Chains A and B, each alone.
Chain A
Amino acid sequence: MLYTNLKHLETAEDFKKAVSENENVMIICGRMGPMCIPVYEIAEELENEYSHVSFYDMDFDNPASSVLRSLPETYGFMGLPFTFYFKNGKVVKATSSIQSMDQVKTILNSEFPVAVKA
């Protein structure tokens, strides 16, 4: 159980729906641990600024999180949280362990640029 203000993914179906219905998705898969909490907080803070990105979390200890844990991008990952960035249903970036606000923003800006209106 994650005590965050992010939208929670509870089942594999939730996950499929999230990445198929939204173009840009960030999912943080972790526990309520010291390396995870700062990343949830960063996502909570960026939700308004990055309205074109959908932010979710998923409990690492929920068996359904195997949809994320078994992704090939997690090879070598040994630090929580596992954070995934999906574009049109495909993983475009994944990180392991704590990240700073600047690191998260850099990824969001490069992977999910806002279309410039002509």
Chain B
Amino acid sequence: MPKGMFVDTSICTGCKACQVACKEWNGLPHEPGHFRFDPVEKRPVAVNFTGDSYDNTGDLSAADWRHVRFIEQFSEDRARSRARWLFSSDSCKHCNDAGCLNACPTGAIVRTDLGNVTVQQDVCIGCKYCIPSCPYGVISLSEASGTVRKCTLCNDRIHNGLGTACAKACPTGSISFGEVAGLKAAADRRLAQLKGLGHADANLYGYKEAGGLNVFYLFLDRPQVYGQPETVVVPQKRLPVSSAVTVVGALALGAAAMVSFRERGSREEDEEVKK
């Protein structure tokens, strides 16, 4: 039975307990700073830290497997009625049709019996092809190990009867861990409740995307607002057409060669030259 997580963003408070728990359980290092010279400050400044938001890392990475997004919806005039602060704790979605796993040329990325997608660190060669193949921008190269790393759904914990570290640490119950089927039932109930309370835009994200996400979300606004793509095409779905068009290109050149190199054509040309 696949296990997963349901992230109910409507009750997330942005405390980042999940980010901390994830770092601690998985022993993840700090994000390595990428410095670039800043002409205004006249000194090198780390360009991969935000510094202008409570959102400190801004993105998922090989060292940050959880990331709490802070979505600051304030109108220009800061009118109070419109002001809204949305939070969403993001991670690998453990897609049922996982672009990263499909793209892996070494078999390093595998799905376990619990449905989670993990990278075998001793097999990964760091070819980086999975990185642009993940439609969610999750999997990333670790400069320290030379391999790609991402959330494992706490593979060690869940195979020993525990839930994920982030779900355990979440003080509001925004992240819950369990069997996907059961989580979906709870998500459906919660959506109906929110709709009843007048949250017309509330929606569930991840039932159909990428073959179904084992880590799925309840959003109060459109998924786009939370940085999640509204139409997801797993890249490998395009492989047959992409290959076919490439073959057509090859055939066109084959035909070009046939007309160009044919003996008869050349002989005519020789005669022309002689004239």
Q: Do A and B bind each other?
A: no
Interface residue ranges, A against B (CB under 8 Å):
none
Interface residue ranges, B against A (CB under 8 Å):
none
